Structure 1
């Protein structure tokens, strides 16, 4: 393997979790698989259409495993009314496909969570005639914590070359099925009023083929086989019994060997995760002290950055997390960083103000570390509605590229369960073509340029270098901002980028929000000794 590839990966020792089985199929200290092909799926409409095609093609003896933060059973995967999530899974189960789901039990709907929606899916697949399907409501988390992983695994009994895993930031839920034109999902969930009645939603997932599919399956199996109670709450256990939702899992079929390497597959795939240290006599058997390989890998990559750090993120919070980025920017005067973020939080009230406090802290720190070399942007659609950025993407120097469920904040790096796929294409070049093509595809969407084919390559030639893309984003955002400030006279400039500055909050209000933000919004799930040393 090219040493330029290896230096971006974690060894099994660096993962620092000897209790997991996720690397058991890999030789020696290797904590990744080779021979894969990974395809980014940008925005929910593309992901849902691909998932629908794969699920509808399953047959007797195949295995479908899914995990989610939120699952809405009535969300359609395509425009077809018969493509609703529950309908598709029920058809697969009727074909004697084995369907298993792990869905976060969630906090109450009264505080903008999805407990009832998730329960409806579990109850619908608990009917006696659904003998090949089972969904568990999983609350094995820290207090105020969540299972935030979002992935689907499909294993084919008779043709493992067709096996596929989908990993990223997109839940099987309302509002997610937006296309790259960003006019919103026909089945919207309300966000803050500024996003309008049909919120535009930008997100990223990926489809993995090859041996790494078995690694994603192992992530599911470790959680499924955890013998600890699914919830400590007595009232939840009583309700489960009344509604026939299972409180203990039935055994999964034996795990098949990994799928064969894909012909000419040059993608190295490493799975990165977060699991918290549960405390109070509870522990994950596969991660007794938790796992923080997402934080470890991101920090390792950022420390090596010399050209461009490109981030798409829902939050970008907290100076204790963004310090690694600030240190890299300060140490390398040619390094640039671009962050694409939501224009504003998705909620209103106290939750909104807590998010602004976290963002202000991060943006001020990064701006001070690299004046003129850090920039944050929001995006809007062509009718002027802001697009909610839910993507979780990190690309460093066109080598390191992750797509996952994890945000750049303390909660994702230490407290909630998360899963990300680090993909590096070992092509013998001075970069990973996968990382560069992902960055340029996302940049093309935000710049309003062609998204594929020869026209895309020609249009994005001026963005191949990191500093050049930094300037292209700045010029695009400046033109659109000036058009808005000038009364929107004349043709609308091309592109979707608007500059974001650090929020401005009064010092007394900011101080008043720091404690609730650290306890509730962005809590720390590390063991006490790591927290005191600021290590991961």
Structure 2
């Protein structure tokens, strides 16, 4: 399915691929690989906070455990090591919510060889949303999360965790993240992407690092070996960049070609283009099961206003299209019933395609913000990819992976397995009740969710995307089986 020029910008081989679930694992690996880095550390992020404790459970004495101090120490003690950080220059409202980091981080490194640069958005209101880390051009990470003070959590997602706090001592909500780590040619491909971005922002050319050691952390067993990896991008085409919509194209190709299962774990779900593609599959008598895992309610007021209402409207519309009863949408909860923030961006198709990255299932990620995803493709279902999916669902349900696998085998579907194991209510259905007039208006015009610089400040031009979704659903319901009942009638 992966094709350069159609749904990805680069295809490369990786000897090893690992899926790191939760940032306690990711941060621990980052701490290890930073210490071993010899010549190059290149990080691209939506956010970066040098105060981040990579190991808040067992931190070194004083501030030494903060990633900014670690980088400063390494840059001083390793003259050959160049540490470059490329971070979005976020607008004032967002920067204020982040304690004015990364802007304040520049002062951390003023007299130090760590080189931090801020990236201006390609368009007014757009975000630089890629999350990439490359170590010595031989090991690379792609994720949906950033190295920041509010990102750490464990797979337990405790209601109260004394280690999950801001530097101020304020407690943070439980959060779910997923990272893909690759080596080989795939790491070099992500390294080239990062070097190109650095050159575009700074004008400086970065030569690929040449090292003799293997930076793969000994503590991490590969999830997959001998893998084909596609790198997909979104670049808006503004500010003299080349317009690239790999992210959206690959979402549509994956949905169209799925045989048995479309598994989506994502922070947002508002794109009418992606929803239209799913509606088409839901109308097929022998189409795939569709499972969405997302956050119950967005933590920020802006996302709650612009994304949650739009998601409710999209889900309500898809419920109409689900004439064969094959789609379910869930949000995970803690033991105490609190919402877990699902910030990961994972797509698994038929247990043979595994995609991880920065892209949300919304308009912005498909054409307005700057994004990067990595996808592993197998010809047939792979037990290792199935194991990743089983682990993601099992850890939300609070059961061992083996117990979830057995439940899915018995039930014959993901929804059936969740229903069988969800005795403590750890996963709750996301409401598909149609929102009020404000939510419907937000969804119809995709307020705050432009799909292209051409319609960024012309929301009326985005209405046709919602109209296409409604038309697709009408076509599906016209072909509905005799025993189908419209949800609105019920």
TM-score after normalising by structure 2: 0.82
CA distance in 2, matches of 1:253, 1:115: 34
CA distance in 2, matches of 1:201, 1:472: 23
The within-5 A match list for 1:495-510 is 496-507=426-437, 509-510=438-439
The within-5 A match list for 1:58-207 is 58-59=37-38, 62-79=39-56, 80-81=59-60, 82-94=64-76, 95-96=78-79, 97-109=81-93, 113-114=97-98, 116-127=100-111, 130-131=112-113, 133-155=114-136, 163-183=138-158, 186-188=163-165, 197-207=171-181
- Is 1:518–2:453 an aligned residue pair? no
Q: Give the unaligned 5+ runs of structure 1.
A: 1-7, 17-21, 24-31, 157-162, 191-195, 231-247, 451-455, 482-495
- Is 1:328–2:281 an aligned residue pair? yes
Runs of 4+ in 1 over 4 A off after TM superposition: 110-113, 254-260, 464-467, 530-535
CA distance in 1, matches of 2:464, 2:237: 16
Q: How far is the alpha carbon of 1:98 from its aligned partner?
A: 0.7
The within-5 A match list for 1:63-462 is 63-79=40-56, 80-81=59-60, 82-94=64-76, 95-96=78-79, 97-109=81-93, 113-114=97-98, 116-127=100-111, 130-131=112-113, 133-155=114-136, 163-183=138-158, 186-188=163-165, 197-226=171-200, 248-254=202-208, 265-278=225-238, 282-284=239-241, 287=242, 290-348=243-301, 351-371=303-323, 372-425=325-378, 430-450=380-400, 456-457=401-402, 459-462=404-407
Q: How far is the alpha carbon of 1:420 from its aligned partner?
A: 0.7
- CA 1:174/1:504 → structure 2, altered by over 3 Å: closer, same or farther? farther
CA distance in 1, matches of 2:355, 2:378: 12
- CA 1:460/1:140 → structure 2, altered by over 3 Å: closer, same or farther? same
Q: How far is the alpha carbon of 1:309 from its aligned partner?
A: 0.8
CA distance in 1, matches of 2:162, 2:47: 16
CA distance in 1, matches of 2:411, 2:69: 45
Two-structure CA RMSD over aligned residues (Å): 3.0
Question: Secondary structure, in 3 states, of the residue corresponding to 1:460?
Answer: helix
- Is 1:480–2:454 an aligned residue pair? no
Q: How far is the alpha carbon of 1:512 from its aligned partner?
A: 4.4
- CA 1:351/1:314 → structure 2, altered by over 3 Å: closer, same or farther? closer
Structure 1 contact 425–433 (Cα < 8 Å) conserved: no
- CA 1:258/1:312 → structure 2, altered by over 3 Å: closer, same or farther? farther
- CA 1:340/1:147 → structure 2, altered by over 3 Å: closer, same or farther? same
